[in-house]
Amino acid sequence: MHGQTERPAADNQSHAVPEWKALLDAAVDAIIVIDHRGLIETYNSAAEVMFGFSAQEVLGKNVSLLMPEPYKSAHDGYIHNYLETRSARIIGIGREARGKRKGGADFAIDLSVGEIPTADQPKFVGIVRDITERKRSEEEVHQTRERLAQFGRLSTLGEMAASLAHELNQPLTAIATYTQACQRLIESGRGDDDQILATLKKCDAQAQRAGEVIRRLRQFVKKREAGRREVSCDDIMHDLAALAEVDARDNRIPLTIDVARGLPNVMADTVQIQQVILNLIRNGIDAMMNMDHYYQGILVSVNKFKKDQVKIMVTDHGSGMTKETEKSIFHPFFTTKRSGLGLGLAICRSIIESHGGVLSFKRNPSGGTTFYFTLPIISETKA
Amino acid sequence: MTDYNPTVFLVDDDEAVRDSLGLLMKSVALASQSFASADEFLAEFDPDCPGCLVLDIRMPGMSGMELQQKLIEKRAILPIIFITGHGDIPMAVEAMQRGAVDFIPKPFRDHELLDRINKALEDDQNNRDTLLEREEVEKRIEELTPREKQVMELVVQGKANKVIAGDLDVSQRTVEIHRARVMEKMKARSLARLVRMVMQIQEQSF
pLDDT higher than 70, residue A157: no
**Which among B23, B29, B110 has the least Cβ separation from residue A199?**
B23
pLDDT higher than 90, residue B41: yes
For B67-94, how does the pLDDT look when each residue is reduced to its tens digit (9 = 90+)?
A: 999 998 888 889 999 988 766 777 777 8
Least Cα distance to A355 among A313, A315, A309, A314 occurs for A309
Q: Which residue has the higher pLDDT, B69 or A383?
A: B69
Q: What is the ipTM of this complex?
A: 0.72
Least Cα distance to A364 among A317, A297, A328, A329 occurs for A317
* pLDDT score for A153: 42
The tally of CA atoms less than 13 A away on the side-chain side of residue B54 is 31
Asked if B75 reaches chain A (Cβ–Cβ under 8 Å), the answer is: no
Of the candidate ranges A261-265, A337-341, B11-15, B163-167, the one whose mean pLDDT is the lowest: A337-341
Would you kindly state where each structural domain of chain B is located, as residue ranges? 7-131, 143-202
For A217-238, how does the pLDDT look when each residue is reduced to its tens digit (9 = 90+)?
A: 776 655 455 567 888 888 888 8
Of the candidate ranges A107-121, A154-168, A319-333, B96-110, the one whose mean pLDDT is the lowest: A154-168
Please list every residue in chain A whose beta carbon sits closer than 8 Å to the beta carbon of residue B108.
Answer: 173, 176
CATH code of the region B143-202 = 1.10.10.10
In DSSP notation, A25-84 reads HH-SSEEEEE-TTSBEEEE-HHHHHHH---HHHHTTSBGGGG--TTHHHHHHHHHHHHHH
Alpha-carbon distance B37 to nearest alpha carbon in chain A (angstroms): 16
For B170-179, how does the pLDDT look when each residue is reduced to its tens digit (9 = 90+)?
A: 999 999 999 9
Question: Residue A262 region, left (φ>0) first, then alpha (ψ -120 to 50), else beta?
Answer: left
Window B:128-187, CB contacts with A under 8 Å: none
Q: Which residue has the higher pLDDT, A314 or B134?
A: A314
Q: Which residue has the higher pLDDT, B38 or A92?
A: B38
**Percent of chain A with pLDDT strictly greater than 90:** 20
- Count of CB atoms within 10 A of residue A108's CB? 16
CB contact under 8 A, B24 and A180: yes
Question: Which pTM was predicted?
Answer: 0.48
Asked if B26 reaches chain A (Cβ–Cβ under 8 Å), the answer is: yes
**Which among A165, A181, A338 has the least Cβ separation from residue B24?**
A181
Alpha helices in B46-107 (DSSP H): 64-73, 89-97
Please list every residue in chain A whose beta carbon sits closer than 8 Å to the beta carbon of residue B83.
Answer: 173
pLDDT higher than 90, residue B25: yes
* pLDDT score for A238: 82
Window B:27-56, CB contacts with A under 8 Å: 27-29
Which one of B10, B23, B59, B112 makes the best mutation probe of the A interface by having the most chain A beta carbons within 10 Å?
B23
Q: Enumerate helices (H) and strands (E) in chain A, giving the number of each.
A: 11, 12
* pLDDT score for B206: 40
* pLDDT score for B97: 80
Distances (CA, A) of A123 to A42, A57, A83, A380, B64: 11, 20, 11, 69, 58
CATH code of the region B7-131 = 3.40.50.2300
Q: Which residue has the higher pLDDT, A311 or B2?
A: A311
pLDDT higher than 70, residue A139: yes
CB contact under 8 A, A169 and B86: yes
Q: Which residue of A has its CA nearest to B57?
A: A166
The tally of CA atoms less than 13 A away on the side-chain side of residue A284 is 35
Helix (H, G, I), strand (E, B) or coil at B94: helix
Distances (CA, A) of A46 to A23, A42, A159: 11, 12, 47
* pLDDT score for A147: 57
Please list every residue in chain B whose beta carbon sits closer than 8 Å to the beta carbon of residue A182.
Answer: 23, 27
CB contact under 8 A, B27 and A202: no
* pLDDT score for B21: 95
For A284-334, how does the pLDDT look when each residue is reduced to its tens digit (9 = 90+)?
A: 888 887 776 556 788 999 999 888 899 999 999 888 888 888 887 887 667
- Count of CB atoms within 10 A of residue B163's CB? 14
Q: Which amino acid makes up residue A315?
A: T
Question: Residue B107 region, left (φ>0) first, then alpha (ψ -120 to 50), else beta?
Answer: beta
Mean residue pLDDT of chain A comes to 81
Which one of A173, A197, A202 makes the best mutation probe of the B interface by having the most chain B beta carbons within 10 Å?
A173
* pLDDT score for A176: 94
CB contact under 8 A, A184 and B28: yes
With residue A311 as reference, give the H or E element that holds it: strand A309-315
**Percent of chain B with pLDDT strictly greater than 70:** 96
* Mean pLDDT along residues B22-51: 93
CB A286 within 8 A of CB A251: no
pLDDT higher than 80, residue A38: yes
**Which among B19, B90, B110 has the least Cβ separation from residue A339?**
B90
Asked if B17 reaches chain A (Cβ–Cβ under 8 Å), the answer is: yes
pLDDT higher than 70, residue A181: yes
Please list every residue in chain A whose beta carbon sits closer than 8 Å to the beta carbon of residue B85.
Answer: 165-166, 169
Tell me how many residue pairs between chain A and chain B have CB atoms under 8 A apart. Answer: 83
